[in-house]
Amino acid sequence: MINEVPPDTLYDFYRFFRNGRVFVSNVLDHFPTIDDQNDFRRGLIGYYKIEDNKITVETFFPINLGQYVFHYGEIKQDTIVFTDSDVLHVSKKDKYVKTKGKGIFLYSRPDW
């Protein structure tokens, strides 16, 4: 899932795995490449849970001796809109849309 943002800005993206794990990262000034989306060294790892159309994402930030951050959102078709977070400010305009199309080859698998 990729955050819809204007050009020349930061592109956040989430990778969700069937086993409840999630990888969160971002790149500047370009749509995430295949290498960006498969490089777990440049991002945050965590877990997610879906109940009905609600999603909770827990990520680990390696700052201040480690910190867990929870994001809460709603799923509407192929879109996630994050509406709240326990630490960071979340704008209701932060929405992530499932990527579609050719050229997406996600080969890396979570090991956490």
Count: domains in the chain? 1
Q: How many residues does the chain have?
A: 112
- Residue numbers of the domain that contains 41: 2-97
pLDDT of residue 1: 64
Whether residue 105 is contained in a domain is answered as: no
pLDDT of residue 54: 97
Whether residue 102 is contained in a domain is answered as: no
Residue ranges of the chain with pLDDT lower than 70? 1-8, 88-93, 100-105
Whether residue 86 is contained in a domain is answered as: yes
Q: Where is 86: in which H helix or E strand? A: none
pLDDT of residue 49: 98
Whether residue 6 is contained in a domain is answered as: yes
Measured on CA atoms in the order 29, 112, 65, 61, is the torsion positive or negative?
positive
* Whether the model pTM is above 0.85: no
Query: How is residue 108 annotated by DSSP?
Result: -
Whether residue 64 is contained in a domain is answered as: yes
